[in-house]
Amino acid sequence: MNFDEEQVISEITSIFSKSNSSNPQVIVGIGDDAAVVATDQHSVITTDMAIEDIHFKREWSTAYEIGSKVTVANLADIYAMGADPRYLVVALTLTGNEELSWIKELAQGIADTAAKSDAVVVGGDLSRAKSIMISITAIGSSRLHITRSGARVGDSIYVSALPGWSRAGYEVLSRNLTLSKVFERALTQFKSPELLPSLMRSFKSAHSLCDISDSFMEQAEQMSRASAVEFEIDIKKFERAEGFADLAAVAHAIGCDVWDLVLAGGEDHVLLATGVNLPGICIGRVLEGSGVKVLEMKKAPDTWRHFN
């Protein structure tokens, strides 16, 4: 170890404080016992934890990519409530064997990704452990939040983007496949998933909403159950989506079923929504009944699980 705790805190603080000073809502930022922020709306709060060799591997991803990915997971959950991300609090454990440059790169990935959504890191904690753990708490604001229980009979069902790319990237890396250009998008979406704030914010008129990071099928089931309705999914509508042919080609190259990626992937920070005339890809409709019915599905997809 070529640094001490005070030095790490100083370096991280210098990265996060830049955004604090430009945000008038931050009354007390990093450097005190707690942060103080001004708010006049409902606060939406979520937290997410990433553990080395469970949620990320340093041999697969750069520190910047790891920081960005963990941040995206939190931001997506805020957007999935129809809210806007505002503040992040970061708790980090280190082994003491990391290079200071790696830690600064991790912090920069968090800060830059938060900034794209007009969110700022206002505090956190640092400790030592046998493995690296990153825990982020995100706080958003909304005037009218959206839950999973608002789906109505007659609604159309939408996803904000085609799911499955992150699972494809994981399969490429876990199988030690020879890297090629055909895998480029999949690897990018797994290592550092794209989050488009303008698209995420465009779902505020949805009747029900959630993030499908735990797989489309699992969270469609949760939403249908919470709303006491049936979700009817038309896979032909998925097939017409932009990028489906490319994802199918990746699935073929990997040697897996494309529907295992699309319907049962994981860590896709894509919104699933019901409503009328929403953006994204319309993939079905809400009916009276219960559960999720996938039209013309020949076999149940192989459900994604946290890799360990």
pLDDT 10s digits, 187-215? 999 999 989 999 999 999 999 999 999 89
In sequence order, which residues have a C-beta less than 8 Å from that of residue 184 and are 6 or more positions away? none
Contact 35, 89 (CB under 8 A): yes
Q: Name the 3-class secondary structure at 169.
A: helix
Could you tell me the two tokens for 50?
């990433």
* Cα distance between residue 281 and residue 158, in whole Å: 5
Nearest to 84 by CA among 122, 49, 42: 42
Residue pLDDT, tens place only, 85-131: 999 999 999 999 999 999 999 999 999 999 999 999 999 999 999 99
Q: What is the set of domains in the chain, with CATH numbers?
A: 5-142 (3.30.1330.10), 156-295 (3.90.650.10)
Which pLDDT score is estimated for 27? Answer: 67
Contact 12, 104 (CB under 8 A): yes
Nearest to 39 by CA among 26, 22, 30: 26
In sequence order, which residues have a C-beta less than 8 Å from that of residue 16 and are 6 or more positions away? 30, 90, 107, 110, 111, 120, 121, 122
User: What one-character DSSP code corresponds to residue 260?
Assistant: H
- The verdict on pTM exceeding 0.85 is yes
In sequence order, which residues have a C-beta less than 8 Å from that of residue 56 and are 6 or more positions away? 50, 66, 69, 70
* Cα distance between residue 212 and residue 264, in whole Å: 10
**Average of pLDDT values for 289-296?**
93
Exposure string for 238-262, b = 16+ CB within 10 A, e = fewer: beebeebeebbebbebbebbbbbbb
Q: Name the 3-class secondary structure at 162.
A: coil
Q: Please indicate whether residue 262 or residue 32 has the higher confidence score (pLDDT).
A: 262
Nearest to 78 by CA among 269, 264, 274: 269
| pLDDT higher than 50, residue 308 | no
Contact 27, 86 (CB under 8 A): no
Which sign does the torsion angle of CA 266, 269, 275, 276 carry?
A: negative
Percent of the chain clearing pLDDT 70 (strictly above): 90
| pLDDT higher than 70, residue 32 | no
Q: 240 falls in which pLDDT band (50, 70, 90)? A: very high
Per the prediction, the chain carries an average pLDDT of: 90
Which pLDDT score is estimated for 307? Answer: 40
Contact 217, 292 (CB under 8 A): yes
- Sort 19 into a burial class: Cβ within 10 Å, 0-12 / 13-18 / 19+: buried
